[in-house]
């Protein structure tokens, strides 16, 4: 099954991305990933302990990013950066959720979504690399 969930690459590949916005985008990517894999049906065919470790790791990263967002913003900045970037990420994950529902959360559908999430996390890693510069 080949499905294009249309990852919002323009958010990741923009040349001028403020650190606060980049942090907010990574936060949203991780938050949406956490929510997607926390849903019922996500662990039916997966190793439960592996999934639990993945979710614990995501939760820790989210806590760390929350701290960065609180410490790194000025009073006039939105605590979660650009709303349009966040909405693009949310829409991307909504498309995956709809796909899973249409496929009745089948094992095959979860495999497709898992591969897409891996790709998404590569982009998140690119953003993190930009933050370190």
CATH of the domain at 26: 1.20.1250.10
Q: Is 85 exposed, middle or buried (0-12, 13-18, 19+ CB in 10 A)?
A: buried
Q: Report if residue 83 sits inside a domain.
A: yes
Residue 101, SS3?
Answer: helix
Give a yes or no: residue 47 inside a domain: yes
pLDDT tens per residue across span 36-89: 998 866 655 567 888 889 999 999 999 988 887 777 654 445 544 478 888 999
Residue at 106 is within a domain: yes
Are residues 70 and 79 in contact, defined by beta-carbon separation less than 8 angstroms? yes
Please report whether residue 46 resides in a domain.
yes
In a domain, 2, yes or no: no
Residue 20's domain comprises 9-132
Reported pTM: 0.83
Which tens digits make up the pLDDT trace of 84-127?
888 999 999 999 999 999 999 898 999 999 999 999 999 888 88
The total number of structural domains in the chain stands at 1
pLDDT for the residue 16: 67
Residue 118 inside a domain? The answer is: yes
Is 3 within the bounds of a domain?
no
94 three-class SS:
helix
Residue 104: left (phi > 0), alpha (psi -120 to 50), or beta?
left
């Amino acid at each position: 099954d080949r499905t294009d969930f249309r990852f919002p690459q323009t958010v990741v590949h923009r040349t001028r991305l403020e650190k606060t916005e980049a942090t907010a985008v990574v936060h949203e990517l991780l938050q949406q990933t956490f929510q997607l894999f926390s849903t019922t049906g996500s662990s039916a065919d997966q190793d439960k302990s592996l999934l639990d470790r993945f979710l614990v790791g995501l939760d820790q990263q989210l806590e760390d990013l929350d701290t960065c967002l609180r410490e790194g913003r000025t009073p006039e900045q939105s605590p979660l950066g650009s709303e349009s970037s966040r909405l693009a990420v949310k829409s991307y994950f909504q498309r995956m959720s709809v796909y899973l529902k249409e496929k009745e959360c089948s094992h095959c559908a979860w495999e497709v979504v898992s591969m897409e999430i891996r790709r998404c996390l590569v982009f998140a890693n690119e953003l993190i690399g930009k933050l370190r510069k």
